[in-house]
A and B are shown apart, each in its own frame.
Chain A
Amino acid sequence: MTDAPTPTVSVRAAITRALGEALAGDERVVLLGEDIADPGGGVFGVTRGLSTTYGADRVRDTPISEQAIVGAAVGAALGGLRPVAEIMFMDFLAVCLDQLANHAAKLRYMSGGLTPVPMVVRTAVGGGLGVGAQHSQMLEAWLTHVPGLQVVVPSTPTDARGLLHSAIASDDPTVFIEQVPLLSFKAPLEDRPVPLGLAEVKRPGTDLTVVTYGRQVHDALAVATTLAEEEGIELEILDLRSLAPLDTDTLLESVGRTGRAVVLHEAVVTGGFGAELAALLSEHLFGQLRAPVLRVGATPTPLPYAKSLERLALPGRDRLLQAVRRCMAHPG
């Protein structure tokens, strides 16, 4: 070990780096997607440089054919490769969900274990960018509802790199969600593995657990700092990182200790992953909860375009603060 300072990099750079490391380290790793090859390297530049270094036959541009992209990834995985497919925007999962939900997710089970499907789908979410309802929606609940799929949402460069490596190494299909506003977020890139199914306490606290993931982790941390300084309320911030498999041990331990929980996610609240978390908490911790579990997420609307409305639709620090206050006001 050297004492060289940990480099500060963006989430984008961390993902690019992980992909490059995977391509360099394992001949079976291949990338496919629309316009992922150079010079563009994907519409967000996440794969930039990779086709130049590793060849356009391993970092392969596809026609605009999401079913073929995900389906070919399933087939390539069955054929012994480790494909990493890119679906430009998560909303486009709607045109290829069959391959994910009926094939990638189910083939291991339906074959009694004969045909695991080691593949990754990376997909971007544009909420907050002002790109409207068809390029913005967090749809993780569609995926966590399907047994057999793994779903991860990184919040930092270190987690992005580590989770992507774990996803590629896994023998099962994993959807890796990249929230576009987070791609330029910079932080020190620590060289450590991040296994699937392991949540992280980002800030320890005693009064209430905010259960969150992805870019909302940073909103939660900001609210925690404010509340601690101004009101002496100590929030515990739990970054799930991996929604499936889910680290229920850490979740239940944290909320069991604080007795209060607010779930914060970017997705629409109705039928969202927060509903699953709230249900889990009430099933396991009914006697220990000092307040109902509250959920903070997007309004039940398609995401509006106008900045004024988009701001109102997406969950922000204000709404988290309100929910925390409501929860804390409960006599418990």
Chain B
Amino acid sequence: MPERTDPGRDTTVLVDLYRTMARIVACDQVLRDAISGGQVALAYYSPRGQEATAAGFAAALRPGDSLVTTYRGLHDQLARGVPLKPLLAEMLGRAGGTGKGKGGAMHIVWPDVGLHLTTGIVGSGLPVAAGLAWAAQRHGAGQVTLVSFGDGATNIGAFHEAANLAAVWELPLILLCQNNGYGEHTPVAGHQRIASVADRAAAYAIPGVTVDGNDPTAVLDAVTGAVDRARAGGGPTLVEAVTYRLYGHVFGDQMGYVDPAELAAAWQAEPLERFRLRLVEGGVLTDEEALAIVEAATAEVDEALADVLTWPEPGPEELLTDVTGFPGESP
């Protein structure tokens, strides 16, 4: 029997992390196949490669905590527990989607699990997350808000304003930067002079930590530290999870701007297989158990997509509703 991986860590936590990652990867695969196969059409920002980051941070949160994410948010949404069918239905513009098909893939929300905003405007989730954290601070029940954003987003003013406000107000906010190496086609070295995004924390006198975003337990531990601090009234933390965008910016990206050797190395070290090996070698899972988890995830997503494809689009009666709650609203 090999030495068990992560002695002292609950194996169910490890298996749950793997299951979450496998589900993200399965969902990503099924969606990309469906787009390639012409079954569905949407602007799709694959999170593949960042699944360990999402699984890790989600495991550090509790019910009642809030989450704000971005257009590249499928991994975050699944990890946080947005139900699969309404999520897929929204991506497909169906009436049964999270937003009745009126928001779309970039705007998934599910308040039941604390997901109050998915935004398509780079960086703009941060000020909103600060407000959610303020509400939690006033509420006084120890809830925290985690906002997920990219490396590129740290160059926009909204990042700075929100980080500073959160610091000054000591808000229970975790600023989680998923540094995937690029903002669209621009590598990190082309958009910032500092070596690490976490260095920015110094400007706000808050802790800034960098973790391996492809290692779910490293993310879990780092975010848990930040969450504990926030719950105890210690204010915000900037966590930089260093990860990689394995399929480029948006579906169809030819990635001509990426060094092929860099991409090959990233695939060599891709997070799901890396974690699987760790769990199998460490005796937490057998090969068969790991495979069964992947197969179950794929089957679940296949069934969900097939079902959701039969769901209707929103009817014309939906066009003018939900603009405001003002009675008789309509042009």
Contacts and interface: CB of A to CB of B under 8 A. Distances in A.
Given A71-B162, A72-B130, A115-B116, A99 B97 contact: no
Nearest to A102: B121
A72 B326 contact: no
B164 interface: yes
Interface of B is mostly: mixed
A70 B124 CA distance: 11
B169 to A, nearest CB: 8
B111 to A, nearest CB: 6
A331 interface: no
A196 B121 CA distance: 30
B165 A68 contact: yes
A71 to B, nearest CB: 2
Interface stretch (A77-85, A255-263, A296-304): A77-85
Interface in B150-188: 157-158, 161-162, 164-165, 168-169
Interface in A277-320: none
A30 B134 CA distance: 10
Of the candidates B68, B103, B128, B136, the one having the most CB atoms from chain A within 10 angstroms of its own CB is B128
Interface stretch (B8-16, B234-242, B300-308, B317-325): B317-325
A196 B99 CA distance: 27
Of the candidates A68, A73, A77, A103, the one having the most CB atoms from chain B within 10 angstroms of its own CB is A68
Interface in B113-129: 116-117, 119, 121, 124, 126-129
Contacts of A60: 169
Interface residues on A, range: 35 or more
B326 A68 contact: no
A172 interface: yes
Interface stretch (A2-10, A106-114, A184-192, A216-224): A106-114
A115 B117 contact: yes
Contacts of B119: 102-103
A245 B330 CA distance: 9
A78 B132 contact: yes
Contacts of B326: 150, 170, 172, 196-197, 245
Interface string A58-98: 00101101111011111111111101000000000000001
B134 A75 contact: yes
Contacts of A98: 121, 124, 158
Interface residues on B, range: 35 or more
A116 interface: yes
B165 A63 contact: yes
A63 B322 contact: no
Contacts of A200: none
A203 B177 CA distance: 59
A63 B168 contact: yes
A75 B124 contact: no
B131 A79 contact: yes
Interface string A36-70: 00000000000000000000010010110111101
A67 B158 contact: yes
B102 interface: yes
A171 interface: yes
B111 A115 contact: yes
B19 to A, nearest CB: 27
B135 A80 contact: yes
A99 B127 contact: yes
A62 B97 CA distance: 37
B103 A112 contact: yes
A148 interface: yes
A147 interface: yes
A90 B8 CA distance: 57
A51 to B, nearest CB: 15
Contacts of B107: 110-111
Given A79-B66, A80-B139, A245 B325 contact: no
B131 A74 contact: yes
A60 B171 CA distance: 13
Contacts of A75: 68, 116-117, 127-135, 145
Interface string B64-82: 0010100000000000000
B158 A71 contact: yes
Given A68-B164, A112-B97, A57 B323 contact: no
Given A75-B133, A114-B99, A68 B322 contact: no
A148 B130 CA distance: 22
Contacts of B131: 71-79, 83
Contacts of B135: 75-76, 78-81
Nearest to B90: A112
A59 B109 CA distance: 29
Contacts of B325: 108, 116, 170-172
Given A65-B164, A110-B103, A76 B132 contact: yes
B121 A74 contact: no
Contacts of A62: 165
Interface of B: 66, 68, 97-104, 107, 109-111, 116-117, 119, 121, 124, 126-136, 138-139, 145, 157-158, 161-162, 164-165, 168-169, 318, 321-326, 329
Interface of A: 30, 57, 60, 62-63, 65-68, 70-81, 83, 98-99, 102-103, 107-116, 147-148, 150, 170-172, 196-197, 245
Given A66-B161, A67-B158, A77-B131, 14 more contacts: A62-B165, A68-B162, A71-B158, A74-B128, A75-B129, A75-B130, A81-B138, A102-B124, A109-B323, A112-B101, A113-B321, A114-B109, A114-B110, A170-B325
9 contacts: A66-B161, A67-B127, A68-B127, A68-B165, A71-B130, A78-B128, A83-B131, A103-B128, A110-B107
The 10 closest A-B pairs by CB, nearest first: A75-B131, A71-B127, A79-B135, A112-B100, A110-B103, A72-B131, A68-B161, A65-B161, A75-B128, A76-B131
